[in-house]
Amino acid sequence: MNIKELAKKYEQYTIDMRREFHMYPELSMKEVRTAKRIKEELEKIGVPFVSIGESGVVATIEGKNKGKTIALRADIDALEVNEIRDIPYKSKNEGIMHACGHDAHGAMLLGAAHLLNEIKDKFNGSVKLLFQPAEEIAQGAKALIKGGALEGVDEVFGMHVMGNFPTGKIAVGSGPRMASADKFKITVKGVGGHGSMPNLGVDALVAASAIVMNLQTLVSRELSPMESVVVSIGKFNSGTRFNVIADEAVLEGTTRCFSYEVRDQLPTAMERIIKSTAASYRAEAELEYNFLTAPTINKEESTERAKNAIKKIMSEEAVMEMPKMLGSEDFSEYLAKVPGTFAIVGTANEEKDTCYANHHPMFDIDEDMLVKGLALHAQYAYDFLME
């Protein structure tokens, strides 16, 4: 089966769909037009689908005989970024932009749907196509899973375009590749008073400042130095006036790590440090911890399959080792349920001025990689089902 050649039939279609999605970006959980267009395109080729929520779409392509089931995933939401690049397909929705390449993801999966539907009598089993909303707020994968998207699925595969990876390369790697991303809020309670008489109050600001510093000992002295862990405070609000002792402080931050075990330990360890530090200043403190996105841990066998698929549709030189990244991806929610792997499609091309990082207002991609992405989806699925 020469999927590399078959993919060329759908190259222009994929480019056209990507540009249409780019012109009409929609924010997380509001991808109504995008989902409608995806369903219209699936209807044209007779691929059945179900809707999950307002903007989730799960389609299924059945092979000639019963067999395994592979899920291919594409996220479809955009960001609150104002596009400044002057291109024919520039965003028509002011202040909203596909600055992370999810327009490309949706288009590549639609292209793969056409190809796989064309060859469905050549493979056994089923292909599920997951068009997922709300990756940017880490809610979409959970919503699809809750809606039954992974029922009967044996393996899952996904990919992401990146503006800081070279075009012509696709990166894959086994084990932990992307970090978890969780959010926390700390509320410190003290007793207000006059700035000239701090002894009569309990300074929540001072206690909170100590908490900021002491939390870093969790990383440096409590967890193994072999583990990559980040505990960052990004927001610190306290006080109302220059000569008033603050009676409250509110801190917000994020944690990142590559291990399920470490991730589970963090809230308990943080709460101990937070409460004991506050108590040492005669204050009280509470921790609110929200698990958002798990670490992305790729299965070794699945990663090898992806490498071989890349070699088939491109070359051995096109395979790049995927480094560990502290960014997060809610594709990890699927990997927590079923085996699979996640790949990075490089789109940085200096000649085409596509070297801006994801989330930048000048972000764009080398569209020559779209056909590679759709082919990789199809090749990976075909190889898995025919094993």
Q: What pTM was estimated for this model as a whole?
A: 0.93
Residue at which a domain ends, from 237, 263, 293: 293
Closest-CA residue to 298 (of 254, 275, 329): 329
DSSP-assigned beta bridge partners for residue 171 = 320, 344
State the residue for tokens 């972000």: 363
Residue at which a domain ends, from 293, 308, 336: 293
Span 48-59, average pLDDT: 98
The CA distance from 94 to 229, in Å, is 37
Residue at which a domain ends, from 248, 265, 293: 293
The CA distance from 326 to 254, in Å, is 12
Span 313-327, average pLDDT: 96
- Regarding whether 213 and 175 lie in a shared domain, the answer is no
The CA distance from 181 to 328, in Å, is 6
The CA distance from 378 to 4, in Å, is 9
Mean of pLDDT over the chain: 97
> Is the pLDDT score of 155 beyond 90?
yes
Q: Which helix (H) or strand (E) holds 296?
A: strand 296-298
- Regarding whether 313 and 246 lie in a shared domain, the answer is no
What's the pLDDT tens digit per position in 200-232?
999 999 999 999 999 999 999 999 999 999 999
Q: Where are the alpha helices (DSSP H) in 122-203?
A: 140-146
Span 252-277, average pLDDT: 97
DSSP 65: S
- Regarding whether 209 and 256 lie in a shared domain, the answer is yes
Residue 265 has what pLDDT? 96
Provide the CATH number for the domain around residue 207. 3.30.70.360
The CA distance from 94 to 3, in Å, is 39
Span 138-143, average pLDDT: 97
- Regarding whether 86 and 30 lie in a shared domain, the answer is yes
Chain centroid to Cα 354, Å, comes to 21
DSSP 252: E
State the residue for tokens 């990919």: 159
State the residue for tokens 């096109």: 318
Q: What totals of helices (H) and strands (E) does the chain contain, helices first?
A: 10, 16
> Is the pLDDT score of 28 beyond 90?
yes
State the residue for tokens 């005989």: 65
What's the pLDDT tens digit per position in 352-368?
999 999 999 999 999 99
Residue 200: domain span:
181-293
Beta strands (DSSP E) in 54-114 are 56-62, 69-75
- Regarding whether 133 and 64 lie in a shared domain, the answer is yes
- Regarding whether 300 and 287 lie in a shared domain, the answer is no
Residue 341 has what pLDDT? 98
The CA distance from 101 to 358, in Å, is 7
The CA distance from 227 to 357, in Å, is 26
Residue 35 has what pLDDT? 98
Contact 379, 312 (CB under 8 A): yes
3-state secondary structure of 14: helix
- Regarding whether 365 and 225 lie in a shared domain, the answer is no
The terminus-to-terminus CA distance of the chain in angstroms comes to 14
Residue 296 has what pLDDT? 98
> What type of residue is 169?
K
3-state secondary structure of 298: strand
The CA distance from 74 to 56, in Å, is 11
Span 287-311, average pLDDT: 98
Contact 249, 236 (CB under 8 A): yes
- Regarding whether 206 and 232 lie in a shared domain, the answer is yes
- Regarding whether 24 and 104 lie in a shared domain, the answer is yes
Residue 123 has what pLDDT? 97
State the residue for tokens 């993919």: 7
- Regarding whether 333 and 250 lie in a shared domain, the answer is no
User: Sorting pLDDT into bands at 50, 70 and 90, what band is 139?
Assistant: very high
Provide the CATH number for the domain around residue 354. 3.40.630.10
- Regarding whether 30 and 11 lie in a shared domain, the answer is yes
The CA distance from 122 to 53, in Å, is 33
The CA distance from 21 to 145, in Å, is 24
The CA distance from 136 to 35, in Å, is 16
What's the pLDDT tens digit per position in 370-382?
999 999 999 999 9
3-state secondary structure of 233: strand
> Is the pLDDT score of 334 beyond 90?
yes
Angle at 42 between CA 36 and CA 46, to 5 degrees: 140
Span 110-135, average pLDDT: 98
Residue 1 has what pLDDT? 85
Residue 120 has what pLDDT? 98
Chain centroid to Cα 18, Å, comes to 19
Closest-CA residue to 173 (of 367, 323, 8): 323
The CA distance from 266 to 34, in Å, is 38
Domains of the chain: total: 2
